Structure 1
């Protein structure tokens, strides 16, 4: 294991000098000095060494593998054939694959044309190849919105690309599906798994295994991530085929802590976030989260001059809903963007481009509302502030979210809103080397509340916010449906939080959540069973007259309402006559015959019991005339004349059976119907 503590050096200090045009591109990007992860990874990777790299977000991991990939392909002894690939980069999301592709494209678009040096010309002695090798453009496998698997193969055949970039599913289809007979991996030089722990967490283990078994063993492999614990990396190294890898961990310490630690002979405090990133948390009620969110944005724009924000929510439905309601509480000049996994790939790409390229100022900020699909790897320039309306279900995503700001040496701030016992999340993150600093509750004038205790009176702005959202929802029933959907999705996501001992639904103030979502009424959910709704009041709504703004939806609703009314007003049909519907198997008639036989058998048993009692009485003592009369009356009253004769006949046959005058078979045949 290699631990990086020294400062990074210049690009010229690399043991193996970079190709001139690669060096020029790096300089044009403004990277005059290497970051620690680059100075530690590039020399090892270029010297036939597998690497496992863990470094904080924004530390330059992408260049740490882009440059070695290019240099290894440039310095090959033999040029790759048109059907052969030299490098494969796999990322967990389309957005990250697109970003990596853009960086490769930046380098490859700057390379010189293929030139053959004049044999009479004096060539300076350098470590570069004697002739520059021009690489074809990399092939990007991002989404079906841009190309299908068949089109991917067609582009590869047409261009002969050396570098393949994509997500696991599309790469598998490219290598083992549509392109099985068209793509050769025999000469593969480098395999890169970016955000390696996320690839494993998303359930791509089997897909990656099939890809890795298809690739040659004589290759260099690199795993890169900002959060890769020992269990994540070491337990999977054998599976992904790394051979004696060098593990590179970039540790971060604040300068003051590091200096004091050296004076005391200590190593100082480790951090898994950039040193110039400050993370704050505000503890508030669930009903006050939306109030605090709007006030934090207002404070950041007015006091700190922030203009570009990312706000993270728990679910896609929450992003869609707050994208439509949050403008009520922001400045009129604020520009909102929505990004989540349920959007089509083309829409996600357009959103990212529009947000990254938007011109924003503190008076006209750009705000991206997103889920964790925008948490990892994306290099969004000039993000000033990251706000987490909901802490992520995957605890590792916390540092990735915060890492969208304070990138490449810049400073940045991140906020997270915590409620109730979620305060314990701060201690949980401290164990993971992510320090958080508490900020007091913000008031309406952006001043701090004098107290932050749980007994503080609920913010007076909450009813006003609730009323304002309800007024918007009443304008369109579709907004009410979106509100209910987002609320339910949030509760479900909350119940599946990895830190379940902190984030427990039974401790969550569901009524407060409903207030922050501006619901018109509480949805019917098992979580509300036995819940104290306190001062909650449903909105005064005539639900039959509550309409959709969309004509098609409203027509459908009216038709359903009319159908329901017709069913209620229609007379109830009489109960079906069971005797009318006789099944073909005559089960009903057979059942009736069976019941008759059972009744006869019961009467027979009673009569035999009475006869046995009578005969035993004759042997001991003759009964009185009155008793005989009563018994006779009882028997006569319980059986009609026909039954009496039948029972008498059976008794006679039973006596003959006992004496042996008739056989058991004859007796059974005689009385089989009983």
Structure 2
């Protein structure tokens, strides 16, 4: 394993550092400069703009902190209380907070003196010559107006903040109060992130407000010509020096095709630290949780690793796995959760707790995070990074890995790949991030493949059942599980490397098993999926309750309301059917009446044709039976019609009612 390269002692700088600044550097354990520091500091301390690209963990932060402080110290006149001398802008509040802590460490070590700035009224009081830096980030405890008040009370020369808060400070609440006329230094840290992810308009307004006579530095671990150099005009750099610090390693090359010859070496460029071992492991989607668990066990037992970061695709996944991992992890681990949807104070508290923790291999400390913890954060004691889900933005891959193997320390990074995702290895290789395959982990050792390639690991069912046991303790965790699963599927479908990460190739049933879902959620992506290998958990959903009493009460009320609504709908349906039935009966009666009218009309026409020209004598009247036999009557139908006419006359006179009439003739067809 290659050692981290160094570029000489701090004393070798042509412009010597201020003694108390050098003391702080050495107290931090940096006896020698790294290549990026040796290349950047001399230029930035003078009058040169710089564009710096170096692998994560190479010491970029000190490469701009030190020259910024030195430039302020070497000024002929100190800044007035309303003036700022340096502005550092970073994309996230976590990174801004970390940079602020480093500046604070340096400035708190400066010697005190008796005196003051020209606008101070008590020159006899001892104070710091250079006031502490001011941090501008979103917080429930600090508003933009409060930022201006803190600036007025401290007279800070150095401002560190995120783009939105800096803009409000300079062009909003602080406009007319904060002067930038004497600004010496502007630093854009993680410049590609600032330029790529929606901060262009904000940066343009800030840069337009700043004086052109300044030194500007752009720093990042991933900055290509396409996404950074084309924006330099916007950033206001003038003839900048481009500093690129590469990592190179020797790679064995077999020079004899038949395998009998010797071996040579080629130089391979890398965009990850030299002391970082980068592994990938292939498994089924249903086996990811099993394999992650075994990686942790392997790292603890073989390397005595005690501090881990595990990256997930979405905030919902972090929240969910934070709840279920304690039931399946092999050790008594302390978990920390960090993602962008947490309140700022919670994020700061979590990061502080994780970085200051004192874990042991028997009780490791594990940070579950999204890409909000991928860039710039200096967490020097992280032993292992595990990417449970590869990042949607491929540029974040190296930043994630770079949270370990920092400042000369060694570290290991793992990524779990499923099926077609193995093509991601070649994709990363093109980006100069080599990955080495490690075999599938069995229960107790490395093996080349699972014992039976045609079937999934038998521990999948065990892990799924363990997770389900946790879910059954609280319906709220079940809701989180469904939300996490849906968010993961949505994120996967929007992966930037979509020709590799294709949703149609992903085993969603396997993913659901890995999540330990009780049942599959209703979503379009699962509509036509083969559910042969899936079985819902046996759950009585009517009694499955929330642990939170208020939430459970709300559920019970909602279900009762839903049941009542269902009953009302059923009742309304019965009434509707009854009404429809009554209408049908009325229509049938009308049809019968029409038929009777037709019969009466037909009888009248027939009778007219049968009336004799000479009336028969009264004594010669034939009987009814005789008339029928002679064809002078049409049978019982005519009798019925005659009887109906008589009854109709009685109904008209009121001798009988409609009900009696309908009972007699309502069923005639």
Q: CA deviation at 1:115?
A: 6.0
Q: 1:42 to 1:488 in 2, by over 3 A?
A: same
1:177 aligns with 2:172: yes
Q: How does 1:110-189 map to 2 (within 5 A)?
A: 110-114=109-113, 134-189=129-184
Where does residue 525 of structure 2 map in the other structure? Answer: 527
Q: Which residue of 1 aligns with 2:26?
A: 27
Indicate if the aligned counterparts of 1:55 and 1:250 stay in contact, CA closer than 8 A.
yes
The residue that corresponds to 2:14 in the other structure is: 15
In structure 2, do the counterparts of structure 1 residues 551 and 235 end up closer, same or farther at CA, with 3 Å as the change threshold? same
CA contact (8 A) 1:316 1:371 kept: yes
TM-score by length of 1: 0.80
CA distance in 2, matches of 1:141, 1:455: 55
Q: 1:494 aligns with which of 474, 492, 496?
A: 492
Question: 1:630 matched to which residue of 2?
Answer: none
Shift of 1:334: 1.1
Residue 518, structure 1, aligned to residue 513, structure 2: no
Matched residue, 1:388: 387
Q: Contact 1:74–1:133 (CA<8 Å) still a contact in 2? A: no
CA distance in 1, matches of 2:300, 2:92: 31
- Is 1:213 paired with 2:212? no
Corresponding residue for residue 398 of structure 1: 397
User: Post-superposition shift, 1:534?
Assistant: 2.2
- The 5 Å alignment of 1:295-314 reads 295-314=294-313
Conserved 8 A contact 2:383-2:411: yes
How far apart are residue 444 of structure 1 and its match?
A: 1.1
SS at match of 1:254: strand
Residue 435 (structure 2) aligns with? 436
Matches within 5 A, 1:176-325: 176-254=171-249, 268-325=267-324
CA distance in 1, matches of 2:266, 2:295: 35
Q: Deviations over 1:42-77 (max 9, x none)?
A: 011112100000000100000000001001111111
CA displacement at 1:452 relative to structure 2: 6.0
Indicate conservation of the 8 Å contact 1:376/1:401, yes or no. Answer: yes
State how far apart, in whole Å, the 2-side matches of 1:542 and 1:327 are.
25
**How has the CA–CA distance of structure 1 residues 265 and 113 changed in structure 2, closer, same or farther, with 3 Å as cutoff?**
farther
Per-residue CA deviation, residues 252-278 of structure 1 (Å, 9 max, x unaligned), is 0126779x9xx9999721000011100
> 1 CA distance for matches of 2:562 and 2:235?
59
Q: Which residue of 2 aligns with 1:665?
A: none
Within the alignment, does 1:572 sit opposite 2:572 as a pair?
yes
Query: How far off its partner does 1:465 sit?
Result: 0.8
Q: How does 1:42-81 map to 2 (within 5 A)?
A: 42-81=41-80
Pairs within 5 Å for 1:532-547:
532-547=530-545
Change in Cα spacing, 1:162 to 1:329, as seen in structure 2 (3 Å) is: same
Distance 1:236 1:257 in 2: 39
2:375 match: 376
Deviations 1:300-358 (A, max 9, x none): 10111100000000001100100111111224521111111111111111111111111
Gaps of 5+ in 1: 117-131, 577-674
Partner of 2:627: none
Q: Cα distance 1:164–1:371, how it changes in 2: closer, same or farther (>3 A)?
A: same
In the alignment, the residues of structure 2 paired with residue 453 and residue 303 of structure 1 have an alpha-carbon distance, to the nearest angstrom, of 23
Distance 1:388 1:346 in 2: 26
User: 1:553 matched to which residue of 2?
Assistant: 551
Displacement of 1:207 after TM fit?
Answer: 0.4
Q: CA deviation at 1:232?
A: 1.5
Per-residue CA deviation, residues 429-463 of structure 1 (Å, 9 max, x unaligned), is 00000000001110111x12342699442000011
Secondary structure class of the residue paired with 1:540: coil
Distance 1:556 1:451 in 2: 49
Tell me the alpha carbon deviations over residues 565-591 of structure 1, each in whole angstroms, 9 at most, x when there is no partner. Answer: 111112207669xxxxxxxxxxxxxxx
Structure 1 residue aligned with 2:597: none
- In structure 2, relative to structure 1, the CA distance for the partners of 1:237 and 1:257 (3 Å cut) is farther
- Check whether the contact 1:38–1:64 (CA below 8 A) recurs between aligned residues: yes
Question: What is the CA-CA distance between 1:468 and the residue it aligns to?
Answer: 1.1
- SS for the counterpart of 1:416 is strand
Mean Cα deviation higher: 533-542 or 434-443: 533-542
Q: 1:473 and 1:133, CA in 2 relative to 1: closer, same or farther beyond 3 A?
A: closer
CA distance in 2, matches of 1:443, 1:324: 26
Kept after mapping to 2: 8 A contact 1:440/1:452: no
With over 3 angstroms needed to count, the CA separation of the structure-2 counterparts of 1:490 and 1:568, relative to structure 1, is same
* Preserved CA contact (<8 Å) 2:331 2:364: no
Decide which structure has the larger Cα Rg and report it.
2
Structure-2-length-normalised TM-score: 0.80
Q: CA deviation at 1:475?
A: 1.2
- Counterpart contact for 1:257–1:269, Cα < 8 Å: no
Query: CA 1:341 to 1:454, structure 2 compared with 1: closer, same or farther past 3 Å?
Result: farther
Tell me if the contact between 2:137 and 2:161 (Cα under 8 Å) persists in the aligned partners. Answer: yes
What CA deviation, in whole Å up to 9, does each residue of 1:274-310 have, x standing for no partner? 1110011110000000000011001110111100000
